[in-house]
Structure 1
Amino acid sequence: MDLSPKLFAVILLLLLLGSTEMQQGPVRVAVARECQSPSRQFKGLCVRDQNCATVCQTEGFTDGKCEGFRARCLCFKPC
């Protein structure tokens, strides 16, 4: 089987590119942990996330969401 020099060069180039990509290894991704705590100042049933988030921010948290069957306000911040 005769390979033309151009075809041989293309195959060789593809093999070299493929082998250099595999040597980089797996990609590591850092995921920030998020701590949660029930709000101490929110009163009543939690219906709107925005209301919960506002109360949580006054408590020093970055965000808040209504969660669970009992509709409680949970506050979140990076650990």
Structure 2
Amino acid sequence: MEGPSRSISALVLLMLVLLTIEIETMAEEEHRIYESKSSEYRGVCLLDANCDNICKAEPILTGGHCHGFFHNCYCTKPC
């Protein structure tokens, strides 16, 4: 009797592992973000909130933040 129950347990464990891998892959795909330097923002980007507001005013962009050596404003959108 132990043979079939071990096989079923192993099969259930394998299915859980495969399901976990699939969920992680889907989560990674959802978190991919496209970044591009803002064409509207002028000057040195010091506050993320200012950059975010400018980017949200541009079509199809969802936000923005300051980064880089020259403190540029980069707009973001999901891929």
TM over 0.5: yes
Give the TM-score normalised by the residue count of structure 1. 0.70
Displacement of 1:25 in angstroms is 4.4
Query: Which runs of 5 or more structure 1 residues have no equivalent in the other structure?
Result: 1-8
Kindly, what percent of the aligned residue pairs are identical? Answer: 29
Displacement of 1:17 in angstroms is 3.2
User: Letter of the aligned partner of 1:36 in structure 2?
Assistant: E
User: Letter of the aligned partner of 1:46 in structure 2?
Assistant: C
What do residues 4-52 of structure 1 show as CA deviations (whole Å, max 9, x unaligned)?
A: xxxxx8xx86x44354222444221222331111111111110110100
Determine the structure 2 residue equivalent to 1:53.
52
RMSD: 2.4
Q: Tell me how many residue pairs correspond in the alignment.
A: 70
Determine the structure 2 residue equivalent to 1:35.
34
| Bigger Cα Rg | 1
Matched, 1:21 2:20: no
Give the TM-score normalised by the residue count of structure 2. 0.70
Query: Which structure dedicates a bigger proportion of its chain to helix?
Result: 2
